[in-house]
Amino acid sequence: MSNLIWTVAVILFIFWVLGFSINIGGSLIHILLVLALIAIVYNLMTGRRIG
């Protein structure tokens, strides 16, 4: 499950960078960035803990 979350986060980040550089999508670009950050934070919070 964590690999899926990382994959989705990376894909969203790539789409954000592409959309930002091409300058299309308006606020959709920032929504993609927020979704990618939420996915990364969720994965970090629920990831494996040592100990």
**What are the tens digits of pLDDT across the range 8-35?**
878 877 877 777 677 666 667 677 778 8
Tell me the whole-structure pTM to 2 decimals.
0.52
End-to-end CA distance of the chain: 21
Q: Is the dihedral of CA 24, 28, 34, 38 positive or negative?
A: negative
In 3D space, the residue among 19, 18, 4, 11 whose CA is nearest the CA of residue 35 turns out to be 11
Task: Give residue 38's pLDDT.
Answer: 83
Q: Return d(Cα 24, Cα 1) in angstroms, integer.
A: 31
Specify the length of the chain in residues. Answer: 51
